[in-house]
Chains A and B, each alone.
Chain A
Amino acid sequence: MSNNIPDNDFELRSLDATCLNESELVHPYWYNLKYLVVGIIFGIVFVKAEIISWFRIQEMFRLQSFHMYGVIGSAVVVGAISVFIIKKFKIKTIYGEDIQFEEKKFNVGQIYGGLLFGLGWAITGACPGPLFAQIGTGISVTIVTLLSAIAGTWFYGLVRNKIPH
């Protein structure tokens, strides 16, 4: 099994939804504040569209409401059009760097992990983003769920070489 597990940092990162680029530019710390701003807008949308609501997630998985399908569907359409435009016109970042896209490689983790995450999503009513937003709205007990999710991630790192990929 270990042959199939990516071992170097680059491959590890390409499997994740993290940034892959090794930017040549070195920025001071406060440049990261722009990601904070995008996060704030995103968090407000999460709350105001009730995406972080346990009830909306239950409706989604019982086919009792179109709301979440509309949110995710229109987000994908807008995201796909944006990516298409960026690729087509070779748009660069605000610092003039090329924008890179990487192909995701298939592994069975996407099936097993995907199913396990789906089970957890329907129980907690939250994927990782909403956990942060729920705590922000003052639902303090979600800290427990977030800590448990961090523990789950840590456990994955621990057993990674022993489970199929």
Chain B
Amino acid sequence: MIEWLKQPWPWYVAGPLIGLTVPALLLIGNKKFGISSSLRHICAACLPANIHYFKYDWKKEIWNLFFVGGIFLGGFIAAQFLANPLPMQVNPNLVAELKGYGITDYSQLIPTEIFNWGGLLHLKGWLLMVVGGFLVGFGTRYAGGCTSGHSITGLSNLQWPSLVATICFMAGGFIMANLILPFILR
């Protein structure tokens, strides 16, 4: 059983489990599945700075912080007890492309050659971690949700604004990965 759990889980196991998060949160407390809102609650709790957008009772939304705390712990448990000992299997075309940028280590979930503390001192690492993170935080709040709030919860409830948002997420991703990122990594 444990050996089986240690292998990478296929999409048809993971996808439905993630989909079930939607009714699970609704049934245990009428909560809407969404993760990026937690970043707003953290702002409201730590540094509201008299900004209207952060002046609300964040304690009412504290369940969301428990939820992301659980995601953190889930990551810890999976890495400690269920880790896959083998390197990731990645599409050979991507391996060939990344090799050109000096990325050859597939033992971690992220390329540790560029995502590391020392990398922050270089423009490349700065763009990937700091600018990238900023875009994620700014963009999700501007859009009113991320992959969970729009693409999964919103689409599950057949909300067309969420479909617009999801299409834009994907468009932005395609533009970055294919047209801009190669220049950053080079």
Q: How large is the interface on A (under 10, 10 to 19, 20 to 34, 35 or more residues)?
A: 35 or more
Contact status A70-B12, CB under 8 Å: yes
Q: Give A30-70 as 1s and 0s: 1 = Cβ < 8 Å from B's Cβ atoms.
A: 01111111111111111111111111011111101111111
**Known: A100-B30, A115-B168, A115-B172. Contact between A144 and B25, CB under 8 A?**
no
Name B's interface SS.
Answer: helix
Contacts of B106 in A (CB 8 A): 55
**Which residues in chain B, 130-170, are within 8 Å of chain A measured between CB atoms?**
130-162, 164-170
Interface residues on B, range: 35 or more
Contact partner, B72, options A51, A95, A133, A150, Cβ 8 Å: A133
Q: Which one of A31, A32, A112, A123 has the highest number of Cβ atoms from chain B below 10 Å of its Cβ?
A: A123
User: With A39-B67, A78-B19 in contact, is A118–B129 under 8 Å at CB?
Assistant: no
A48 interface neighbour in B61, B78, B171, Cβ under 8 Å: B78
Task: Report if A129-B71 is in contact (Cβ < 8 Å); known contacts: A141-B116, A152-B135.
Answer: yes
* Other-chain contact of B5, A40, A48, A60 (Cβ < 8 Å): A48
**Complex Cα distance A95/B180, Å?**
50
Tell me the chain B residues, 44-64 only, with Cβ under 8 Å from chain A. 47, 49, 51-54, 56, 61-64
Cα separation A77 to B151 with both chains bound (whole Å) = 11
Chain A residue nearest to B137 in the complex (CB) = A152
Contact among B35, B64, B91, B175 for A118, CB-based, below 8 A? B175
C-alpha gap A32/B63 in the complex (Å): 6
Number of A-B contacts (CB under 8 A): 536
Task: State which of A39, A59, A113 has its C-beta within 8 Å of the C-beta of B141.
Answer: A113
A128 and B140 in contact, given A36-B66, A100-B30 (Cβ under 8 angstroms) = yes
A58-100 interface code vs B (CB 8 A; 1 in, 0 out) = 1111101111111111111111101101100001011101011
Given contacts A115-B168, A123-B132, contact A157 B40 (CB under 8 A): yes
Contacts of A77 in B (CB 8 A): 15, 19
Residue of B nearest to A30 (CB): B66
**How would residues 113 to 133 of chain B score, 1 for a CB under 8 Å from any chain A CB and 0 otherwise?**
001110110000001111111
Question: A121-B173, A138-B79, A150-B137 are contacts. A109–B142 as well, Cβ < 8 Å?
Answer: yes
A9 to B156, CA, bound (A): 24
With A61-B173, A61-B176, A117-B140 in contact, is A47–B74 under 8 Å at CB? yes
* 8 Å CB contact of B76 from A53, A54, A136: A136
Whether B173 lies near A119 (C-beta < 8 A) is yes
Most chain B Cβ neighbours within 10 Å, of A117, A123, A147 = A117
Pairs across A and B, CB under 8 Å, 5 listed: A43-B74, A45-B9, A113-B142, A124-B132, A161-B52
